[in-house]
């Protein structure tokens, strides 16, 4: 957040303040370690690497054209449960007969 706000090299104290302002408990040692680990690295490069790492973990929807047969198999197994009728008469104050 600090980098996006225009701060090229945030200090540990600034990171700690942001964490506290967000309502969390800030650990001074961890804030200092974070600042040290990110020192000299460009924010956009860190985001790019992070996005690649996240996409390699899977968990999202399959890529277009992938898993077509598997998806059909899953749908075939899934059964629909019958819907229950619920009487909501009078719920909106409209007891009138129509």
Domain ranges of the chain: 1-58
Mean pLDDT of 31-39: 91
What CATH number is given for 1-58 in this structure? Answer: 1.10.10
Instruction: Map tokens 């957040």 to a residue.
Output: 1
Question: What is this structure's pTM?
Answer: 0.50
Looking at the predicted structure, is the pLDDT value of residue 9 above 60?
yes
Instruction: Map tokens 């600034």 to a residue.
Output: 14
Give pLDDT, residue 87: 67
Listed in sequence order, the DSSP H helices in the chain are: 12-21, 28-38, 43-56, 68-77
Q: Please, which residues have CB within 8 angstroms of residue 4's CB and are 6 or more apart in sequence?
A: 43
Give pLDDT, residue 20: 93
């Amino acid at each position: 957040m600090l980098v996006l706000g225009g701060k090229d090299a945030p200090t540990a104290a600034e990171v700690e303040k942001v964490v506290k302002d967000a309502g969390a408990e800030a650990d001074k040692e961890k804030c200092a370690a974070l600042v040290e680990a990110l020192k000299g690295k460009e924010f956009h490069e860190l985001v790019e690497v992070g996005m690649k790492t996240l996409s390699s973990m899977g968990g999202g929807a399959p890529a277009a054209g992938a898993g077509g047969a598997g998806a059909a198999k899953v749908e075939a197994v899934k059964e629909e449960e019958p819907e229950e009728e619920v009487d909501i008469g009078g719920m909106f104050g409209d007891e009138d007969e129509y």
